Amino acid sequence: MQRRTFLRSTAVAALTAVPLTTSLSGSASAADIPVASLAALQSAINSAAPGDRIVVADGTYTVPSGSAITVSGKNGTAAAPITIVAKSRGGVVLRGQRGFALSNASNITISGFAFRQSTRMEIPESCSSIRLTRNDFQFADTGDKDWVVVRGDSTKIDRNHFHGKTTLGVFLVVEGPLADSSRKTEMAQNVHIFKNHFSDHSFTGDNGGEPIRLGSSGRALSGAKAVVEYNLFDRCDGDPEAISVKSSDNTVRYNTVRDSRGGIVLRHGNRTRVEGNYLIDGKDGIRLYGNDHLIVNNHVSGMSDNALVIGSGSTRDHNSGETEDERRGNDACDRVVIVHNSLLNNAKTLVGENRTYAPQDVVVADNLLVGDSGSLVAMGATTRFTWQTNMLWGGAANGNIPSGGFTRADPRLVRGQDGVLRLSSGSPAIGAATWGSPGVADDIDGDQRGSVRDIGADEYATAPALRHPLTAADVGPNAA
| Interatomic CA distance for residues 44 and 54, integer angstroms | 7
**Average pLDDT along the chain:** 92
Average pLDDT of span 441-450: 94
Other CB atoms within a 10 A radius of the CB of residue 193 amount to: 26
Average pLDDT of span 314-340: 90
Largest CA distance in the chain: 72
Q: With contact defined as beta carbons under 8 Å apart, do 105 and 71 qualify?
A: yes
Looking at the predicted structure, is the pLDDT value of residue 10 above 70?
no
Looking at the predicted structure, is the pLDDT value of residue 281 above 60?
yes
Q: What is the 3-state secondary structure (H, E, C) of 79-135?
A: CCCEEEEECCCCCEEEEECCCEEEECCEEEEEECEEECCCCCEEECCCCEEEEEECC
Average pLDDT of span 205-229: 95
- CATH of segment(s) 10-22+134-474: 2.160.20.10
Q: For residue 23, what pLDDT is reported?
A: 43
Least confident range from 106-115, 320-329, 330-339, 360-369: namely: 320-329
Q: Model's pTM, two decimal places?
A: 0.93
Rg (CA), the chain: 23
3-class SS of residue 75: strand
Measured over the CA atoms of residue 423, residue 429, residue 430 and residue 435, the dihedral's sign is: negative
The percentage of residues in the chain with a pLDDT greater than 70, rounded to a whole number, is 93
Residues linked to residue 156 through DSSP beta bridges, in sequence order:
131, 192
Residues linked to residue 339 through DSSP beta bridges, in sequence order:
296, 365
Q: For residue 14, what pLDDT is reported?
A: 36
Buried b (16+ CB within 10 A) or exposed e, 122-132: bbbbebbbbbb
Residue 390: which of 412, 408, 374, 373 has the closest Cα? 408
Least confident range from 174-183, 268-277, 355-364, 412-421: namely: 174-183
Residue, of 3 and 260, whose pLDDT is higher: 260
Looking at the predicted structure, is the pLDDT value of residue 19 above 50?
no
Looking at the predicted structure, is the pLDDT value of residue 391 above 90?
yes
| Interatomic CA distance for residues 353 and 381, integer angstroms | 8
Q: For residue 328, what pLDDT is reported?
A: 85
Residue, of 467 and 180, whose pLDDT is higher: 467
Average pLDDT of span 320-345: 91
CA distances from 465 to 342, 416, 418, 420 (A): 16, 10, 10, 11
Residues 6+ apart with CB under 8 A from 47: none
**What is the pLDDT confidence band of residue 326, given thresholds at 50, 70 and 90?**
confident
Q: For residue 387, what pLDDT is reported?
A: 98
Q: For residue 35, what pLDDT is reported?
A: 98
Residue, of 21 and 280, whose pLDDT is higher: 280
Looking at the predicted structure, is the pLDDT value of residue 2 above 50?
no
**What is the pLDDT confidence band of residue 41, given thresholds at 50, 70 and 90?**
very high
Q: With contact defined as beta carbons under 8 Å apart, do 370 and 344 qualify?
A: yes
Q: For residue 440, what pLDDT is reported?
A: 84
Q: For residue 438, what pLDDT is reported?
A: 66
